[in-house]
């Protein structure tokens, strides 16, 4: 299902087409080549002073890492994410040999956005999640003290929303996307004064 962004002017197709579906095809695989492509896109994201704070735990459906990541998700996310072709945990390295890494979370955010936009380019879907236990990730994967799990990401192939088998989830999948208008998003002169004319 497509739900392209409604924009005043055209934006990059991957940006317009990116959204966060939950209806994954449990029979379709994410290939090793696709995973490498996603991770390369993430690896080449900008970061403050080239500190590169982003790291990822990666599991493909059917392997032990996938099962361990799935177990860290809350039950609401487990209910659909088990069908994804791959599950990842985005981890921030908050300290290196020079001390605290500035803007580490921002760096992981940039890397993860690269990853999900690359997924769109590959014809895949991606859904980022806050609903998981960072402490369970730390315990299960032996994260060092300077690494913090910040986001879970499901990647795979889209399928019909009816696979979700829950009316509320199916309805949410079909619900139109929404963003605040530009007049409430970008200001000039002072806060609240729109930067752009309608």
pLDDT tens series, the chain, 198 aa: 899 999 999 999 999 999 999 999 999 999 999 999 999 999 999 999 999 999 999 999 999 999 999 999 999 999 999 999 999 999 999 999 889 999 999 999 999 999 999 999 999 999 999 999 999 999 999 999 999 999 999 999 999 999 999 999 999 999 999 999 999 999 999 999 999 986
Instruction: Give the separation between CA 189 and CA 3, rounded to whole angstroms.
Output: 34
Burial (Cβ within 10 Å: 0-12, 13-18, ≥19) of residue 103:
middle
């Amino acid at each position: 299902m497509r739900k392209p962004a409604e924009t005043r002017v055209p934006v990059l197709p991957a940006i317009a087409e990116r959204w966060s579906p939950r209806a994954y095809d449990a029979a379709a695989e994410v290939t090793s080549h696709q995973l490498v492509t996603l991770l390369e896109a993430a690896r080449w994201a900008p970061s403050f002073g080239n500190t590169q704070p982003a790291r990822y735990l990666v599991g493909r459906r059917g392997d032990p890492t996938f099962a361990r990541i799935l177990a860290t998700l809350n039950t609401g996310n487990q209910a659909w994410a088990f069908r994804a072709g791959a599950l990842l945990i985005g981890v921030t390295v908050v300290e290196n040999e020079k001390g605290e890494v500035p803007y580490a979370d921002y760096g992981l955010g940039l890397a993860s956005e690269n990853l999900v936009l690359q997924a769109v380019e590959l014809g895949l879907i991606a859904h980022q999640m806050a609903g998981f236990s960072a402490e369970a990730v730390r315990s299960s994967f032996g994260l060092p003290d300077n690494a913090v799990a910040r986001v879970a990401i499901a990647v795979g192939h889209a399928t019909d929303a009816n696979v979700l088998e829950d009316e509320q989830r199916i309805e949410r999948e079909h619900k139109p996307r929404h963003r605040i208008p530009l007049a409430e998003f970008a200001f000039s002169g002072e806060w609240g004064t729109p930067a752009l004319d309608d």
